[in-house]
Amino acid sequence: MCGIVGYIGRQEAAPIILQGLRQLEYRGYDSAGLAVLDRTGALQVRREAGKLVNLEQALTKAPISGVVGVGHTRWATHGPPSQRNAHPHSSPDGDLVVVQNGIVENFLELRQELESLGYRFCSDTDTEVIVHLIHHYYHNSSAGDLERAVQRAMQRLKGPSAIVALSSRHPDRLIAVRLGNAGGVAVGFGEGEMFVASDIPAILHHTRQMAFLDNRQMAVVTAQGAIFKDLYGRPVQKECVRIDWNPTAAEKGEFRHFMQKEIFEQGRSLTDTLRGRLDFQRHSIILDSLNLDAAQAQRLSRITIVACGTSYYAGLVGKYYIERLARLPVEVDYASEFRYREPLVAPDQMVLAITQSGETVDTLAALEEARTQGAFTAAIVNAIGSQAARVTDGHIAMQAGPEIGVASTKAFTASITDLLLLALYLGEQRGVLPEPQRRHIIRMLSTLPGLAGELLEEALRSERYRELAERYHTYHNFLYLGRNIHYPIAREGALKLKEISYIHAEGYPAGEMKHGPIALIDANMPTVVIAPRDHVYDKMLSQIEQVKARSGPVLAVAHADDNTIRAKVDAVLPIPVTDALLTPILAVMPLQIFAYEMAVRRGADVDQPRNLAKSVTVE
Ligand code: AGP
């Protein structure tokens, strides 16, 4: 979950690295540092605990001038957040520095081995074994060949790692390596300058041309370009990808937080998600990147969806879509459970990962498990060039643009929309979804971005959510209830509240109330219900009565024109009336806004919630 930025070229390195780290601060932020080769050819290092601004102040006091450097923002895995544990870590002679994202699982044995060779450690981190190991091989068995020394060292490491090494003895190059699923390594191509980063937004201001390292690959990056190899030094062909994201999309604009911007841009992001996928002539869905033809679709016996967190809740919605429209059984499993329960998977099944970052270690491991059992693997993924998009047989891009806020919002609605597209696609390919039904749903889908835009426009102008936050921000527990396709939306709404406002919240199937949760209801336990006028509406009304009878406050996500429910509850979070299939995508938006305003009212760090990171690349 750390952020890495490297630069080599003709401009001052420090400002470019700092700007890139600012874009990556959401990935990990309890300390930060950088190293630059100064004009005398010596490596200068600055490291500070706390937020990136502390490092910026240190550099203002003691600037470093040079055109080659590497920087890092840290989310602690080994060793508490502190200056001594901040990256870069240096070799004893100060000639070599390393930054890392990931974990060295065998660092204790390596540390003991290196200490027996005379190395003295200055930090509690696992990363420090990497720089000493490279230094050892460089001076003892690689005869001053830095690439060889890095390769030797990487072969000793166990666990996922992405690293960048810089040596004052080889000032014309950076060396980047990717081991396992430690988060991406992007190599950016400029004019007479090159970039390395753990995530696209860090360098998107400088270049749109990027290549991405795969597992056990390295890049030797000079100002003129990059050479890609495996860890035995054999050349590797890499495709250079043009990234079409809008660089300002990774900026907050007029919003206070990335999360707020990403909530309110869902009208546009849903437009992008649908772009190029609705065929209004054939009433079909276009999903070429899925690489699944009609024969394969007809052979499918089951789909297992694997994901974590918010993406898992999107998968629960997908189950309703795919079973209803494609008549295909769907199982949804936490990736962290799937990978360890010896799952029964077969070649006539699809294992579908949902992952915004494309780098979640449990989700990638679940895909690996599915691949070894011969299943058709697919991913619904947002981050371009991420591992999940590359290791699967097919994928569906969320096309939501960069999602910077740690709490996932627009990626969630994009995932659900992609799942609806997939269900329609499979229904047609399997011959179980007649054209008239497809035509109706596709026509409704084309109205989705407009409906989202209207809902969000009204919410942005309204004081409703700030007033609700004022009234409820001191409560300590919330219950979220939904039925059928809105049960996963209740789970997601609860997660949004808890992960950014630190209020305990639990999402539950409304029908389960009598089986336990109703014991919790009193005036101190507000209940949020999702109750559009669908086939279970009457059941939700009686649920509301039961909560109100026990003095429980009730907030209802409901149709804006529903006066029945308005008379029964303490507040309505309005959504427009539309096709039942689209309603879950809209119903989550008021819950996102409510959670956001509660977190702001409580003074929480909305974009960087404590203990969380945007991409969980370590177990
Ligand atoms: C959601 O708000 C959280 N940030 C978290 O649950 C997230 O959804 C989960 O870690 C999965 O991430 P992914 O979609 O990138 O795999």
Question: What is the C-alpha to C-alpha distance for residues 296 and 323, in angstroms, rounded to an integer?
Answer: 17
Task: For ligand 1, atom 6, name the residue with the nearest CA.
Answer: 309
pLDDT tens digits along 308-341? 999 999 999 999 999 999 999 999 999 999 999 9
pLDDT tens digits along 501-510? 999 999 999 9
How confident is the model at residue 25, as a pLDDT? 66
Residue 165 predicted with pLDDT over 80: yes
Indicate if ligand 1 lies below 6 Å from the C-beta of 592. Answer: no
How confident is the model at residue 105, as a pLDDT? 85
Residue pair 208/349 in contact by the 8 Å Cβ criterion? no
Residue 562 predicted with pLDDT over 90: yes
Indicate if ligand 1 lies below 6 Å from the C-beta of 174. Answer: no
Indicate if ligand 1 lies below 6 Å from the C-beta of 31. Answer: no
Residue 27 predicted with pLDDT over 70: no
How confident is the model at residue 157, as a pLDDT? 94
C-alpha pair distances (Å), 38 with each of 86, 139, 237: 20, 23, 33
Indicate if ligand 1 lies below 6 Å from the C-beta of 167. Answer: no
Indicate if ligand 1 lies below 6 Å from the C-beta of 406. Answer: yes
CATH architecture of residue range(s) 3-243: 4-Layer Sandwich (3.60)
User: How far is ligand 1, taken at its centre, from the CA of residue 411, in Å?
Assistant: 9
How confident is the model at residue 30, as a pLDDT? 78
pLDDT tens digits along 352-391? 999 999 999 999 999 999 999 999 999 999 987 789 998 9
Indicate if ligand 1 lies below 6 Å from the C-beta of 25. Answer: no
Question: What is the C-alpha to C-alpha distance for residues 203 and 206, in angstroms, rounded to an integer?
Answer: 5
pLDDT tens digits along 104-113? 889 889 999 9
User: In this predicted structure, which of 70-79, 149-158, 347-356 has the lowest mean pLDDT?
Assistant: 70-79
User: How far is ligand 1, taken at its centre, from the CA of residue 406, in Å?
Assistant: 8
User: Nearest CA to 351 among 324, 325, 323, 372?
Assistant: 372
Average pLDDT across the chain, whole number: 94
User: How far is ligand 1, taken at its centre, from the CA of residue 560, in Å?
Assistant: 30
Indicate if ligand 1 lies below 6 Å from the C-beta of 309. Answer: yes
Question: What is the C-alpha to C-alpha distance for residues 492 and 473, in angstroms, rounded to an integer?
Answer: 19
pLDDT tens digits along 401-429? 889 899 999 999 999 999 999 999 999 99
How confident is the model at residue 50, as a pLDDT? 85
pLDDT tens digits along 509-544? 999 999 999 999 999 999 999 999 999 999 999 999
User: How far is ligand 1, taken at its centre, from the CA of residue 60, in Å?
Assistant: 36
pLDDT tens digits along 49-98? 988 889 999 999 999 999 999 999 987 666 667 888 999 999 999 999 99
Which class for 276: exposed (0-12), middle (13-18), buried (19 or more C-beta within 10 A)? exposed
Question: What is the C-alpha to C-alpha distance for residues 262 and 402, in angstroms, rounded to an integer?
Answer: 9
How confident is the model at residue 1, as a pLDDT? 61
Reply yes or no on whether 261 is catalytic.
no
How confident is the model at residue 201, as a pLDDT? 87
How confident is the model at residue 317, as a pLDDT? 98
Confidence of residue 171 (pLDDT cuts 50, 70, 90): very high
Choice among 319, 410, 568, 614 that is catalytic: 614
The residue extents of the domains of the chain are 3-243, 250-459, 462-601
Bridge-based pairing of strands 3-8 and 43-49 is: unpaired
How confident is the model at residue 526, as a pLDDT? 98
Confidence of residue 2 (pLDDT cuts 50, 70, 90): confident
How confident is the model at residue 79, as a pLDDT? 66
Residue pair 491/307 in contact by the 8 Å Cβ criterion? no
DSSP 241-270: EE----GGGGS-TTSSSHHHHHHHTHHHHH
Domain 462-601, what fold?
A: Rossmann fold (3.40.50)
Question: What is the C-alpha to C-alpha distance for residues 596 and 600, in angstroms, rounded to an integer?
Answer: 6
For residue 309, the ligand 1 atom closest to its alpha carbon is 6
Mean pLDDT within 286-291:
96
How confident is the model at residue 348, as a pLDDT? 96
Choice among 2, 410, 496, 568 that is catalytic: 2
User: How far is ligand 1, taken at its centre, from the CA of residue 83, in Å?
Assistant: 29
Question: What is the C-alpha to C-alpha distance for residues 258 and 260, in angstroms, rounded to an integer?
Answer: 5
Indicate if ligand 1 lies below 6 Å from the C-beta of 311. Answer: yes
How confident is the model at residue 574, as a pLDDT? 98
Task: For ligand 1, atom 7, name the residue with the nearest CA.
Answer: 309
Show Cβ contacts of residue 215 under 8 Å, excluding neighbours closer than 6 positions: 178, 179, 180, 181, 387
Confidence of residue 223 (pLDDT cuts 50, 70, 90): very high
User: Nearest CA to 584 among 411, 397, 417?
Assistant: 417
Q: Do domains 250-459 and 462-601 have the same CATH topology?
A: yes
CATH 1.10.10.60 fits 250-459, yes or no: no
For residue 383, the ligand 1 atom closest to its alpha carbon is 15
The dihedral sign for the CA sequence 43, 49, 51, 57: negative
Question: What is the C-alpha to C-alpha distance for residues 360 and 338, in angstroms, rounded to an integer?
Answer: 14
Reply yes or no on whether 240 is catalytic.
no
Task: For ligand 1, atom 3, name the residue with the nearest CA.
Answer: 407
Any idea what DSSP says for residue 184?
A: -
State percent of the chain over pLDDT 90. 83
How confident is the model at residue 77, as a pLDDT? 60
Task: For ligand 1, atom 10, name the residue with the nearest CA.
Answer: 309
Residue 396 predicted with pLDDT over 70: yes
CA 102 to chain centre: 16
pLDDT tens digits along 173-206? 999 999 987 668 999 999 999 999 998 889 999 9
Question: What is the C-alpha to C-alpha distance for residues 400 and 382, in angstroms, rounded to an integer?
Answer: 7
Task: For ligand 1, atom 5, name the residue with the nearest CA.
Answer: 309
- Testing ligand 1's pocket by substitution, the residue of 200, 311, 403 carrying the most ligand atoms inside 8 A of its CB is 311
Confidence of residue 293 (pLDDT cuts 50, 70, 90): very high
Mean pLDDT within 462-482:
98
Indicate if ligand 1 lies below 6 Å from the C-beta of 28. Answer: no
User: In this predicted structure, which of 69-78, 142-151, 226-235, 279-288 has the lowest mean pLDDT?
Assistant: 69-78
